A and B are shown apart, each in its own frame.
Chain A
């Protein structure tokens, strides 16, 4: 408790806990719904953030995986009578498989060329949902059954969403802080450096596309249960762009930044709904503001604030070699 950093971390955790519990305690159904929506979006964006923010692969196609997750529950549970919980797991697995497929072109195609193939996937999924009327209900869509037991209530569903989001956030944080995170950043920032340290870029990319597909599938299933009805119209390309923008506004190589981006961009249309005419205008204004003034995203502002208020002392300009230590490090290469 005496350590200042621990104190700050503790305060942060407490604030987060209060924020998470607020929609529950407020008793406001609408607030609870919006908070659940943020949570489901976030489950997808955590995975996508590893792809876009850490590996620098531009994907706008995850909305297709999101749709696959939602329709898996609608068809599996609603039509074929599987338990919704089982359908949730199947949605994750199916999402992971499709995520793997989505990632394959990234092995060959750089930047925007790859982004176009992901756009292609989201369009194909949309078309299939409309065309395969017998399976998907076509343009009219399908009802999605809710989860059973305590998860059937809005607050139960909210807690499920928070739990899943917390677990996947933790996993994502582990991935980024350990060795895989460094490999991912090397793929993003310097393919030459990545090769020099022996990172198998293809394997790392496909592994993370599979993981992000899993989170997208799970997010889609939660979203379906939350909306209780899905139509192809819901999973428009715009939504894929929305996910992408949340990360761009949040900033690359950060988890907190994209989280704040998701919260702000989900709340914005809801808050401005009362003056609907200016709603889109406000949305565009925020985007323009961020892109022009803080092109590196929210996380760069946070970093700037930290460096501004907790500056570190300048290091000495004279370097002192420690050759015996270097020699001992070279003799015992650790693992």
Chain B
């Protein structure tokens, strides 16, 4: 499976297409937890320079899918491809090398370290200095550290956290922690950024900021997967939207199409189309 072209003849056409595309692609993923089917033959493409929304009611499998893409869960069947390589057996740590970064529903920061150190920690996989070079603080290691620091400072200032750079992360307010975690993910210089309910617990003002940030990230060529509950925010921000229900994809398309799709209104909003129809 290392080289998908070799075994292409034996694979279904959809898998072959995904293996050859320059996208982050989930193909035919099924995952069961005990008797419960969390995901049932789900496929999803995340292209670069795109904001792709993933919505659905509680328990529809959104976060499970994100956990498969980032490698935290092992799927029962199906594959994950990134830029033509099969990542299905690649560990979470090694997926970072394939430039896949993510955030969590509850920010997973290093609370004892400063905001700046948290963002800089994101650059671990880009760090070339070995243990001995760091231990003796060789010029190469110091130069690399300086570059990472400058880049991280720019990210923090860009995200509006410049004043909080030297604060310990666990003293930050919830909204700031969310932006800080996005900063750490961006310090990995990802091609794909997977955001797990980034608007959770944010104020309206912060959600507006989040929207602006996500669009800048998209315009920098990064593919953003936005797993969210706030449908307004998703339809306003995304280029494409996929809707999951009970572990299956019900519809995928442009926000305007998805928004007015009969099935979405029925399943996702329990039959009332009021909140979607008002646009």
| A residues neighboring B (CB under 8 Å) | 171, 174-175, 178-180, 182-183, 185-186, 189-190, 192-193, 195-201, 207, 211, 252-253, 312, 315-316, 319-323, 325-335
Contact = CB atoms under 8 A, between A and B. Distances in A.
B93 A323 contact: no
B217 interface: yes
A197 B188 contact: yes
Chain A interface, >50% SS class = helix
Interface residues on B, range: 35 or more
Nearest to B184: A197
B110 A193 contact: yes
Contact of A179 (B127, B136, B179): B127
B94 A323 contact: no
B44 interface: no
Interface string B39-61: 00000000000000000000000
B271 interface: no
Contact of B160 (A182, A199, A211, A320): A320
Nearest to A322: B158
A189 B209 CA distance: 29
B32 interface: no
Task: Specify which of B134, B176, B185, B217 lies most central, judged by the most chain A CB atoms within 10 Å of its CB.
Answer: B134
Contacts of B262: none
A335 B126 contact: yes
B160 A183 contact: no
B187 to A, nearest CB: 8
5 contacts: A174-B134, A178-B137, A179-B148, A190-B109, A211-B131
A174 B96 contact: no
B112 to A, nearest CB: 6
B82 interface: no
A333 B135 contact: no
B110 A330 contact: no
A323 B137 contact: no
Contacts of A333: 126, 151, 189
Contact of B216 (A180, A190, A330): A330
Given A179-B129, A327-B216, A327-B220, A190 B108 contact: yes
B111 A189 contact: yes
B167 A193 contact: no
A183 B159 contact: no
Given A200-B93, A330-B222, A335 B216 contact: no
A322 B179 CA distance: 13
B47 to A, nearest CB: 17
Interface stretch (B117-125, B233-241, B250-258): B117-125
Interface string B154-183: 110111111110110000000010010000
B232 interface: no
Interface stretch (B3-11, B12-20, B21-29, B139-147): B139-147
